[in-house]
Amino acid sequence: MSWITVTYRVRASAPGIDAIARALALEQSVELPLEAIHDAFVLENVVGKVRGIRQVDDGLYEVVVGLATATTGCDAAQTINMLFGNSSLHENIELADVEFPADFIARFAGPRFGIDGLRAQIGVSKRALTCAALKPQGLPPERLADLCYTLARAGIDVIKDDHGLADQSYAPFEARVAACQLAIERAGKDTGRQSVYAPSLVGSPSALLQQSRFLREEGVAMALVAPALIGMPVFAELVADHLEIPVMAHPAYAGAARVAPPLLLGKWFRLLGADAVIFPHFGGRFAYSEPTCAAIAEVSRATWPGIRPSIPVPAGGIRLEHAHDVLDFYGTDVMLLIGGSLLAAGDEIEARARAFGDLVASHGALAAQEPLAAKSR
């Protein structure tokens, strides 16, 4: 029987940490005190095992627990339940990292395309990829399609819906998707280069299935989905069984639980099938640190037998003027998402979007001569 190795960060006093670690292992496996377990099989093969305790800082510890793989059923929801179900209710505990055994990983397909497949889909082999968002919500489909056309004509690789776009009265899903996909195709005919449009899918499972069917009917080549909003098992099933196109995972609501971002966004979303993963880049309007951003990118792209890498998508207030620094930090296997810094240009948005593409291309040419790697600062 295989075991999952789970690392928690726990705030506790030195005299209390051993008892907390034992209680954590029991809570996340059998949810009973040890003296209440009388079955030898359960004691040996199901009860969680404390593998180690390490002090990280004053009052902060890393607790490593072994959990039986069989308890997860290799189901996305049940896995999160066993890793952090009841213990997520304790404010002093954070789920920091997980190492899955090979038999567990084999039950998940991971990204359908991965970095290489996504590059092939978009037709870009070496440089970083560019991405922009359709904003603000409140615009009608025609206005969003005009913006989509402008960005595509300027050479932006991926043009995604703002994640706040759903099926609102001012921009109904089907009308918006049809108009924007038509704009993408028109720009491709005008320029000879095809950009990709990624609509935002959100709603109940039945709504998501209908949206997925509509994307196939319209020939849409990518989708944007927030796993934490629609539910992680729903996301995994949607990617595996209903979307045959690259999927970009959005981090909306992913900060609502005490789970380390490199684990949740970089590792878990990737295992569930995200080809690209958006996360807030340091220095923008969110508070992720440089080491956290570097770790997300590293985990997204790390070698994982049987699982294709996801492309990291730093976002959240990145300015065009800082794009060179961002690319220096992450390297070329990245999709750089810039929104407000482009849209603020108003009537000059096409020129500014072209400047974005030119900057990334020039950086890619330099990287081809002297490859860059993501820095762990």
Would you state the pLDDT for residue 365? Answer: 65
The answer to whether 9 and 96 have CB atoms below 8 angstroms apart is yes
- What is the spatial distance between Cα 294 and Cα 73, in angstroms, rounded to a whole number? 32
Whose tokens are 């950009």? That residue is 195
Using a 10 angstrom Cβ sphere, with 0-12 exposed, 13-18 middle and 19 or more buried, the burial of residue 187 is: buried
* Domains and their CATH numbers in the chain: 3-105 (3.30.70.150), 114-369 (3.20.20.110)
How far apart (Å, rounded) are the C-alpha atoms in residues 272 and 63?
Answer: 25
Q: Tell me how far apart the alpha carbons of residues 35 and 286 are, in angstroms, rounded to a whole number.
A: 46
Query: Which secondary structure element, helix H or strand E, spans residue 60, and what is its range?
Result: strand 60-68
Q: Tell me the pLDDT band of 283, cut-offs 50, 70 and 90.
A: confident
- The predicted-structure confidence for 295-325, as pLDDT tens digits, reads as follows 999 999 999 999 999 999 999 889 999 899 9
Q: Which pLDDT tens digit goes with each residue over 220-270? A: 999 999 999 999 999 999 999 999 999 999 999 998 889 999 999 999 999
Concatenate the DSSP letters of all residues of 225-246 into one string.
E-HHHH-HHHHHHHHHHT--S-
Dist CA 368 CA 363 (whole Å): 9
